[in-house]
A = this chain, B = another copy of it.
Amino acid sequence: MQQVFCDWGTSSLRGYLLDDSKIIQKYSSDLGLLKAQKIGYEKVLDSVLDSFQCEHDIPIYFSGMIGSKQGWAEAPYVPTPVGIEQMKGKTIKPAKNIHIIGGVSHLDGSGNYDVMRGEEVQVFGVLEQEPATSLICLPGSHSKWVKIEAGQIKIFATWMTGELFKALSENTIFSTQLESKEFNHEAFIQGVGFAREHHDLGSSLFKLRIEYLFERSDKHHFYSYLSGFLIASEIREAIGVAKKVSLCGSDSLMNSYALALEVFGVESKQFPSETATIRGIEKICGENNE
């Protein structure tokens, strides 16, 4: 049986045509929410289905920001703790053959919320591949760290590391000391080390400027140095006492996080986000299939 799965986020749209759980075609574009809402969600979906040359009434499953208030239709947040069963009940159907998976919310002890949309599907996809996982990190613009207990999402928190990296490297004094975006292993590790030995992001940040002024870092390698610093600042705050993490994201980000985690003496295993998304949607929507 054929199905379409889509990970539809804020800035990108990834679609997969599956036949009996096997990917037979892929679609990828920058028609995320920001662009798609101007064109019209139905129209964008039509172009995906056209590219697959499949029937338009095929079962379609969405995860991600497409289920937010600004998306196609709002799929409610499911509060933690969340397992597969809780997720199943919260899928909404804005059209007969379309299913949108809900997000997950977490209320911490201080009365503050955190939320995710799309990552929860990947979390269940990782758990399907590695049921014993107790900590999952999903690096990105808004990195998520997720604690798992008995197959359920128990606690999670978000770091704006990817966005912070972009804003700092492009729109602050750091942009003047940045010549190349090529990855440099040594500079990255040096940045990780710097974040480990200093214990507040705010007070450490300007020291990166000084390192440059005193020629301890240079224009060619500063991009990697800053990346290492910010990723390690996130890890330092998030890792707690854990000694093992499952990573789920793009290959390049997972490699960077794995390198930094190694410096912290933490073991990691990588789960590419594509497979995690597909396995997660299957797991959540498996028995809903039409």
CB nearest to A108 among chain B residues:
B207
Q: Is A252 an interface residue (CB 8 A)?
A: no
Q: Are B167 and A113 in contact (CB under 8 A)?
A: no
Q: Are A205 and B160 in contact (CB under 8 A)?
A: yes
Q: Are A115 and B171 in contact (CB under 8 A)?
A: no
Interface of A, secondary structure class, is helix
Q: Are B142 and A160 in contact (CB under 8 A)?
A: no
Q: Which residues of B contact A201 (CB under 8 A)?
A: 200-202
Q: What's the Cα separation between A197 and B109 when bound, in Å?
A: 12
Q: Are A203 and B172 in contact (CB under 8 A)?
A: no
Q: What's the Cα separation between A201 and B168 when bound, in Å?
A: 15
Given contacts A203-B238, A206-B160, contact A214 B113 (CB under 8 A): yes
Total number of A residues with any Cβ neighbor in B under 8 Å? 38
Q: Are B171 and A166 in contact (CB under 8 A)?
A: yes
Q: Is A8 an interface residue (CB 8 A)?
A: no
Q: Are A237 and B200 in contact (CB under 8 A)?
A: yes
Find residues 52-100 in chain A having any chain B CB closer than 8 Å to their own CB: none
Q: Which residues of B contact A214 (CB under 8 A)?
A: 113
Cross-chain contact of A202 among B166, B209, B211, B234 (Cβ < 8 A): B234
Q: Are B171 and A167 in contact (CB under 8 A)?
A: yes
Residues of A within 8 A of B (CB): 110, 112-115, 142, 157-161, 163-164, 166-168, 170-173, 197-198, 200-203, 205-207, 209-211, 213-214, 233-234, 237-238
